[in-house]
Amino acid sequence: MLWLKSFHIFFVVSWFAGLFYLPRLFVNLALVPSDSQAERERLLLMARKLYRFVTPIGLLAVATGLALWFGFGFRGGWLHAKTALVALLLAYHFYCGKLYRDFSAGTNARSHLWFRVYNELPVFLLLAVVILVVVKPF
């Protein structure tokens, strides 16, 4: 079980690295001047590669989490709350894919300020998940 926990933590940390950086690329994309096609294409390439890289890592984080759940059982309100937050993180992740497609299609209508706020959401979700896992408040 310790090996499984180790891999779960590794995949979660790696997934969050992507969740922290991908929206930052969106901030930069939203700031690109319309006449800077090369910069836009470079940032789109970075965003596409990062999204494609962290998607399977996120799925491995969820899979190892489910394996831990089945190994230890689904007990305690904290675990229900954590599972709900992980569902929100998955929705956030896949919404990042939609945002990337909007940028690729040239249809993004959101400002860099919106993306700056959006960029902070996984920080708060991670904090809540860590508190739930360590403190187990209920």
Give the pLDDT confidence of 20-71 residue by residue, as tens digits: 999 999 999 999 998 999 999 999 999 999 999 999 999 999 999 999 998 8
Q: Could you give the CA distance from residue 35 to residue 39 in angstroms, rounded to a whole number? A: 9
Nearest to 44 by CA among 56, 52, 17: 52
Question: Each residue of 72-81: b (16+ CB within 10 Å) or e?
Answer: eeeeeebbeb
State the residue range of the domain holding 131.
2-135
- In this structure, are residues 50 and 18 in contact, taking their beta carbons and an 8 Å threshold? yes
Domain count, the chain: 1
Each residue's pLDDT tens digit, 83-125: 999 999 999 999 999 999 999 999 999 999 999 999 999 999 9
Query: pTM of the entire structure?
Result: 0.94
